[in-house]
Amino acid sequence: MPSVAARVPPVAPARPDDERTQVAIYGSPVAGSVSPPVFNHVFPLIGLPNYHYGAVDLSSLADEGNAWDIALKRADCLGTCLTMPLKLEAFERVDVLTPEAQATGCVNTTFFRPSETDSTASLVHFGTNTDSAAVLNTLLSALLGKPSPFDASSPRSFAPQAKAAAFAIGGGGATRASIHAMHALGLSPIFIANRDDAEIEAIVRHFGEWDVRPLKSAEDARVAIKRLRDEGGHVVCGVGAIPSEEPRTESEKRVYEVADAVFGQLYEKSTQATQEEGYLSLPEKPVFVG
């Protein structure tokens, strides 16, 4: 397993004459990714006309000589971005993990840094995760009713006595990052539904002592949410990290049935919950990001 970085070595600002100018997003499918056109539009505007962002359709990193491995060996490779289904595989295939990658158990961005211990060594390949911060900022924006960056006085989490819970849909890297973000908001328990029970079991194991509760059927969801409400709690937000496609298999349909059961029950903001100084207030209705 890769080591975990205590700190990430700094790097000089990008320059037009840099050797490493090529980056791409890897995954499947990626043909519709907005990242290449966005970055390729921005690069010349910030004085980096030689930089280029591509998209490479790749369904696995396991095959020797795959496109990701080849790109990493090129002298012009700046780094890589990874989307489904490669985030968990990339976790095991970098030299060093940042604390964010270690915490989420997946990697969505990789980059190079010189070795701090051996000046003659080749560059060190780092893996990090930026999804968790993105989900956290998105949820905070919705809960606070204002865009980031947030001022220092803005609350960042719910008070424990608010009994604010959350719901996640999916079983891959984005779901892990979402659970990490929702936990940072003080949300507990975090319910989860997915078509693949093995993926859910792996997520529950990864987050250890956190209160992550699988919902395997609509009936499970109805019982769990009723119990939560009887205890004075509410699901205040959710994150969907699955493809935006019509469910076809029975297991896929089951996930949607669970989601309907979770959010189909009337949400009532607790009249007993008072706004605690320095904490987020309960929203008037649940926030869902997908």
Residue written as token pair 């496609």: 245
Just give the CATH number of 132-289. 3.40.50
Whole-angstrom Cα distance, residue 287 to residue 238?
6
Contact 129, 200 (CB under 8 A): no
Contact 261, 216 (CB under 8 A): no
Q: Which amino acid is at 29?
A: P
Close Cβ partners of 131 (under 8 Å, ≥ 6 residues apart) = 104, 106, 108, 173, 174, 177, 178
Q: What pLDDT, on the 0 to 100 scale, is given for residue 275?
A: 55
Length of the chain measured in residues: 290
Q: What pLDDT, on the 0 to 100 scale, is given for residue 118?
A: 73
Q: Which of 139, 150, 165 lies closest to 235 in space, CA to CA?
A: 165
CATH fold of 3-129, please?
Answer: Rossmann fold (3.40.50)
Q: Per-10-residue mean pLDDT for the chain, 290 residues long?
A: 82 86 97 96 96 98 95 96 96 96 97 81 92 96 93 92 94 96 97 95 96 96 94 93 86 92 69 63 84
Looking at the chain, the domain(s) classified CATH 3.40.50.10860 span 3-129
Close Cβ partners of 86 (under 8 Å, ≥ 6 residues apart) = 26, 27, 58, 60, 61, 68
Whole-angstrom Cα distance, residue 207 to residue 201?
10
State the distance between the two ends of the chain, measured CA to CA, in whole angstroms: 31
Close Cβ partners of 59 (under 8 Å, ≥ 6 residues apart) = 28, 85
Which strand ranges, in their side-by-side order, compose the sheet holding 124-128? 3-4, 96-97, 124-128, 109-113, 77-82, 22-27, 52-57
Whole-angstrom Cα distance, residue 154 to residue 160?
17
- Write down the H helix ranges in the chain: 35-45, 67-72, 87-91, 99-104, 131-144, 173-184, 197-206, 218-230, 250-264
Q: Say how far residue 226 (Cα) sits from the centre of its chain.
A: 28
Q: Say how far residue 224 (Cα) sits from the centre of its chain.
A: 25
